[in-house]
Amino acid sequence: MSDMKAWYQSKTIWGALVAILASVLQAAGAPIEPGMERDLVEALTTLAGAAGGLLAIYGRLSAERRVS
C-alpha cells in the first residue's frame, strides 16, 4: 500500500469501533440489530469526513502564515 490516508478516513477502523461499541451496548442491555452496524459505520464515516473538512477550513482561516 503506497497511498496513505488518515485513520479517521478508514471504514475498517470505523467498523471496528462500531463493533466494539455495539458489543458494549449489548452488554449494557441495549438491543443492536446486525443491520444497524453497517448504517452506523456509514454515518460515522460521513461525520468524520465532514469534521475533517471543517477542521481543514478552520486551520487555513486561523493560520498565521500563507501557503506557498
pLDDT tens-digit readout, 31-68? 777 788 788 778 877 887 888 788 888 888 887 877 66
Q: What pLDDT does residue 65 have?
A: 79
Cα separation of the two ends of the chain:
29
Give a yes or no: residue 68 inside a domain: no
Instruction: Read off the C-alpha cell for 9.
Output: 478516513
- φ/ψ of residue 16, rounded to 5: -65, -40
- What pLDDT does 67 receive? 66
Number of domains in the chain: 1
pLDDT above 60 for 23: yes
Residues whose CB is less than 8 angstroms from the CB of residue 14 and which lie 6 or more positions away in sequence, other chains included: 8, 41, 44, 45, 48
Q: Kindly state whether residue 30 falls inside one of the protein's structural domains.
A: yes
User: Which range of residues forms the domain containing residue 15?
Assistant: 7-61
For residue 66, being part of any structural domain is answered with no
pLDDT band at 28 (very low <50, low <70, confident <90, very high): confident
In a domain, 2, yes or no: no
* pLDDT for position 29: 83
Q: Give the C-alpha distances (Å, rounded to integers) separating 8 from 5, 14, 36, 52.
A: 8, 7, 20, 9
Is residue 1 one of the residues assigned to a domain? no
**The whole model's pTM is what?**
0.53
